[in-house]
Amino acid sequence: MISNEQLVEKAFEAMKNAYAPYSNYHVGACVLCNDGETFKGANIENASYGATNCGERSAIFAAYSNGYRKNDIKAISIVTDGKRLGTPCGICRQVLSELLNHDTPIILSNGTETRVTNVSQLLPDSFGVDDLD
């Protein structure tokens, strides 16, 4: 099984594929599944800004697109080339709250600083499927 450091390294590899001509803010992410499979993602921007997809959503959508679900996911790493440690945006927090178990490690890094968090910490008291009858 790969270490947190290796999972962060894979996210930095993914970050090289970011398409960010507008923000010039590059994000990479990598989902690690319990069977050892990994799925990379990067942010993909669009001239119609609302059509942009963030790196962590690209990675988790890739995992789900290949049949994996929240109970199959061991961790996700999310990295940026920003000066500050990047954390998921509001839309991504909502998506991660549905597609990850709330205690699944989310490893954040910008190469100089690394922090491990989870959905419970990033989006407490979240709205979700349990609120729909």
Nearer to Zn ion, 15 or 71 (CB): 15
Nearer to Zn ion, 6 or 126 (CB): 126
Sheet holding 106-109, edge to edge: 38-42, 27-33, 73-80, 106-109, 114-117
Per-residue contact track with Zn ion, 44 to 63, x per CB under 5 A? ----------x---------
Q: Which stretch binds Zn ion (CB under 5 A): 3-11, 77-85, 89-97, 99-107?
A: 89-97
List the catalytic residues. Answer: 56
Question: Least distance (Å) from Zn ion to the CB of residue 44?
Answer: 11
Dump the DSSP string for 13-54.
HHHTT-B-TTT---EEEEEEETTS-EEEEE-B--SSGGG-B-
Distance between CA atoms of 10 and 127, rounded to whole angstroms?
31
Chain residues that interact with Zn ion, rule: CB under 5 A: 54, 89, 92
